Amino acid sequence: MQDLRVTLVQTHLVWEDVDANLAAFGRLIDSLADETDLIVLPEMFTTGFSMQAAALAEDMEGPTLAWLREKSARRGADLVGGAMMHCDDGYVNRLLWVKPDGRVLWYDKCHLLGVAGEDKVYTPGTRRLTVTLKGWHIRPFICYDLRFPAWTRNADTPPYDLALFIANWPRRRALHWKALLVARAIENQCYVVGVNRIGSDGNGNDHCGDSMVIDPLGNVLFQKRDFPALHTATLSYAKLQAWRQAFGALADADPQLCV
């Protein structure tokens, strides 16, 4: 199995300005010198973590998805980012996964942040998504999902190899972000990539980033706080498999919790 190259994009977001954010991320992606297989952008990367879905949500034919397709095709890499989208029941906080040939997969955030009123605006997702890339099985999640280990449990056959978390996670809970990302890597015996934003949003929330790459043993391979980052990490499938074979904890998991 080949190694996987993953690029994290951590930066400021312009509050509720789709055009400005698409332009800024476009410049960053165009400037990327590294060869990569997967580029990961934050949750709601076009607006920030806004509840103004009635004014800002797009459909699957809108400018954000068109932009993602164009950038993915140009780079020849899978491209992941989050946006507020229309759905049959109203609105969803959606992770969009675009492949260079134009195919689109998506995951709708399951756990909605009640203290921010997210559950009053958006409809929760009900299904997980697993994407295969270069033979790797990858499971994406969104922000608050990180707190719920039953939802992220690595119980499928075959197990997933990489968990992605895209976020607008505030500075005041940064300790939780860092601890939970490491915990998810250790308990699921997988790589974890967390991509967060920096800067303040329109609600006065400050974000310090702390985008991270963590290996299956819980070692932090990359972390960046408070500054923009365009970082490409190479994940070793041989290292992942060696650890799973040496310490087969996934085989001993409690079956009643494997939901």
Q: Which residues are catalytic?
A: 43, 109, 143
Token pair 């494997």 is at which residue?
Answer: 258
Contacts of 99 (CB under 8 A, 6+ apart): 72, 78, 105
* 70-74: Cβ within 8 A, 24+ apart: 71/26, 71/29, 71/39, 72/39, 72/98, 72/99, 72/100, 72/102, 73/100, 73/101, 73/102
Q: Looking at the DSSP assignment, which residues form a beta bridge with residue 6?
A: 38, 233
Distance separating alpha carbons of residues 127 and 46, to the nearest angstrom? 24
The overall longest dimension of the chain from CA atoms, in Å, is: 52
DSSP conformation class of 176: H
Distance separating alpha carbons of residues 173 and 128, to the nearest angstrom? 25
Token pair 């932090």 is at which residue?
Answer: 220
CB 12 within 8 Å of CB 199: yes
Contacts of 228 (CB under 8 A, 6+ apart): 10, 11, 12, 28, 198
Report residue 174: phi and psi, to 5°.
-65, -35
Contacts of 24 (CB under 8 A, 6+ apart): 11, 12, 14
Distance separating alpha carbons of residues 167 and 147, to the nearest angstrom? 12
Q: Tell me how long the chain is.
A: 259
